[in-house]
Amino acid sequence: MSMQDQQLEQVRQAIEGFCHNRHKPSFEPHNPMVEAYAEPYSSDEVIAAVNCLLSGDVRMGGETAGLEHDFATRSNSQYGLFCNSGASAKQLCISALCNPKSDNALQPGDEVIVSALAWPSTVWPLIQNQLVPVVVDVQADTLNMTTRSVEAALSPRTRAVFLAHQYGNPCEVDAFIELCKRHELTLLEDCSEANGARYRDQPVGSFGAFGLFSFYHAHHLSTIEGGMVITRNAKMDDLMRILRAHGWVRDVRDPEPYISRHAEMDPQFLFVNQGYNMRPTDLQAVMGRVQLGKLQQVLDDHHRVAARYAEGLNPYAEVITCQRTTEGGYHAWFGFPLTVNEDAPFEVGALRQYLQDAGVECRPISCGNIARQPGFKYVPHRVVGALTNATRVMYHSLSLPVHKGISSEAADHVVRTIQQFMQAHGVKR
């Protein structure tokens, strides 16, 4: 073994030892803390990142291409496009759909139907491309859009439906596919919270024209920041690659047609469209490839925690509604959403404070009814219906933490805390 190899082995052993001691899951009953998110990285990801750094080449390259291929394959799609965030993935997708080089491009004023529980990064690319978001309500128990709400929102300007698999719960995709075919609409899937979720045994993101994913720090698969677009459309994949890097043709699969068409230009610096700088790095990609191999274990851990919560909270169905998994769906459990019912003898704020006092971190459900957010006042949009369910979620719901770092003992603590709260408010099991 060379001196360099010996040094690398020492670095690897040091990282493994450090991570083993630091990442040991621990729950202290006398000082309980159940955090909203777990540290996503083990020694495997750290070693992969260090090796990439030591290689001297961290730019977007072979590892990025490898992650794109691996993720698309796992997602039952043909092409994957890695970028620097989930928000960028949506921006690239919408910008490509509106680009003059796109077949039947979306035009200013065209409408896209979105969930009232959509995260802002789903909506802002529509606004920035002069499209009009049309906001519809969700189902009270699944928290997902329904075809009924979408049908009610259709207009002559409707061009697309942007599904959101809320908190990892797959939508009834087959019904939306039928609706979109009937009305000649483009189906888009926001899978930011649903990486690994399936509907009728098919991965979410593979049903629509595009599937959009986030690899943010707190998500099922993390590249610190990062996002992915999957599609089966080779032309649109190439267009997004051009838009990802300044309008450059360098990253398309076959640049020769562009080079031949513009023979007067230096092929090394050939820019054929507008563009952004939304490139990722191979440093992120190597971490993502390690994480992708662990995704099913992450999902298994999420299911374990969610199942314990469901079992413990089921006796309180009269006062709280837990998210119902869509029939035929495999839930990814980004969190565990619950809504306090109207006739409950307590408010969600009291429950949330009680949990936090017991060391259990909670979160709101997304940004609530996005149409009520202050920033939405200043953008063109259309609201269909009263958005009653989304508004109720905004003011009467919370999400319990779900992640691989929650031990059985920690999950029991969460359930026991809620049981104690119920007892204190006179709610019987």
Low-confidence ranges of the chain (pLDDT < 50): none
Q: What is the pTM of this model?
A: 0.96
The beta strands (E) that lie in 226-282 are given as 227-231
Give the pLDDT of residue 407: 94
Give me 297's structure tokens: 């274990």
The residues that bridge with 83 in the sheet, in sequence order, are 227
3-state helix, strand and coil shares in percent for the chain, rounded to the nearest 5: 45, 15, 40
For residue 31, what are its two tokens? 């000082």
For the chain, give every residue range classified as CATH 3.40.640.10. Answer: 54-287
CATH of 295-425, one of 1.10.10.10, 3.40.309.10, 3.20.20.300, 3.90.1150.10: 3.90.1150.10
Whole-angstrom Cα distance, residue 130 to residue 241?
A: 22
CA distances from 299 to 155, 194, 202, 203 (A): 39, 10, 15, 13
**Residue among 380, 2, 326, 367 nearest 165 (CA):** 326
Q: What's residue 25's pLDDT?
A: 63
CA distance 168 to 195: 7
DSSP assignment of 9-33 equals HHHHHHHHHHHHHHS-----TTS--
Q: What element of type H or E holds 161?
A: strand 158-164
Q: Which two tokens stand for residue 38?
A: 């777990």
Q: Which residues of the chain does CATH 3.90.1150.10 include?
A: 295-425
pLDDT for position 184 = 98
- Can you give the pLDDT at residue 38? 85
pLDDT of residue 10: 92
Query: What number of other Cβ atoms are within 10 A of residue 46's Cβ?
Result: 17
- Cα atoms found within 13 Å of the Cα of residue 376, Cβ hemisphere only: 21
Q: Which tens digits make up the pLDDT trace of 165-207?
A: 999 999 999 999 999 999 999 999 999 999 999 999 999 999 9
Q: In terms of CATH architecture, what is 54-287? A: 3-Layer(aba) Sandwich (3.40)
Q: How far apart are CA 111 and CA 320, in angstroms?
A: 35
Residues in Cβ contact with 181 at an 8 Å cutoff, skipping those fewer than 6 apart: none
